[in-house]
Structure 1
Amino acid sequence: MEQIGYQKSQGEIRFPHLGGLIKRRMKERRVTNSEMARKMGVTSQTFGSYLKNESLQFRILWEAGLALEYNFLADLMADLPEKVLNSAASKFQDVILAQAEEIKDLKKEVAILKEVLKG
């Protein structure tokens, strides 16, 4: 996955330019500003201002994702620093670990079933 363009905040903290992120995904999917504005129920001028903003309300990002049928949250999660993404308190990480364990168990079961069918 390509890295998201970053803007500097105060100090060393960096964050993605969300308007630019939406703009890139629109370009990939060949969706115009006016089409996005219509799908999101805002004027073209309002939507154009969204694209210029480095920070957007969650609602705007959510609606843009629905309009494009694209998961912006996955992009943002993938770009989190490793120490944040793999935090022990992360529910997301817990789900991944549980699914990995389930996959491991299912692979064992498949191997056993293949042996039974051969016999």
Structure 2
Amino acid sequence: MKTIAKKYKTQGSVSYPHIGRFLTQYFAKYGVNRAAVARELNVADSTTTRYMAQESLQFGILWKISVAINRNLLADLASRLPIPFATPREIALETELKAVQEELNALKLENKIYKDLLK
């Protein structure tokens, strides 16, 4: 019997990470208990074992695992994209940082002026 390749599993010019391997490495690095995740997801322990063997997982499954472990796995995966991007939160933080740096520079100048006056 001929096996038909799934189109979504065909790697393009930029390959995507093996999601199961990503989860396995993440769980090991951060000490996430796979059985506890299975209980949180209300699935069999063997189901989470299968997730960790799969090259690709549905978005909904990744979402549920992220919620179960209180970690944004989707952002972790997105950071691996070979496309430069900034999240709205990062843009807001960069804007805030720039304003704080400008205020710091103004305060340094003001401080220098006061020191010069005291001399």
Structure 1 length as normaliser, TM-score? 0.69
1:107 aligns with 2:106: no
Length, aligned pairs only: 105
Unaligned runs of 5+ in 2: 1-8, 115-119
Per the TM alignment, residue 58 of structure 1 is displaced from its structure 2 partner at its CA by 0.9
Greater CA radius of gyration, 1 or 2? 2
List 4+ stretches of structure 1 deviating above 6 A: none
Post-superposition CA distance 1:3-54 (Å, at most 9, x none) = xxxxx83453411111111111111222332111011111112211111111
| CA positional deviation for 1:61 | 0.7
- Give 1:99 shift: 4.2
Counterpart in 1 of 2:4? none
Tell me whether 1:17 sits opposite 2:25 in the alignment.
no
The one-letter amino acid of 1:103's match is: L
The 5 Å alignment of 1:64-75 reads 64-75=65-76
Structure having the larger proportion of residues in strand: 1
Matched to 1:111, the amino acid is N
Q: For 1:47 and 1:58, how far apart are their aligned partners in 2?
A: 15
Question: Residues 111 and 67 (structure 1 numbering): CA distance in 2 closer, same or farther, change over 3 Å?
Answer: same
**Is the contact made by 1:33 and 1:47 (CA closer than 8 Å) also made in structure 2?**
yes
Q: Which runs of 5+ in 1 are unaligned?
A: 1-7, 87-91
Task: Evaluate the alpha carbon distance shift between residue 29 and residue 113 of structure 1 in structure 2; reply closer, same or farther with a 3 A threshold.
Answer: same
Q: What letter is aligned with 1:12?
A: S
Identity level (%): 33
* Residue aligning to 1:26: 27
Q: Which residue of 1 aligns with 2:63?
A: 62
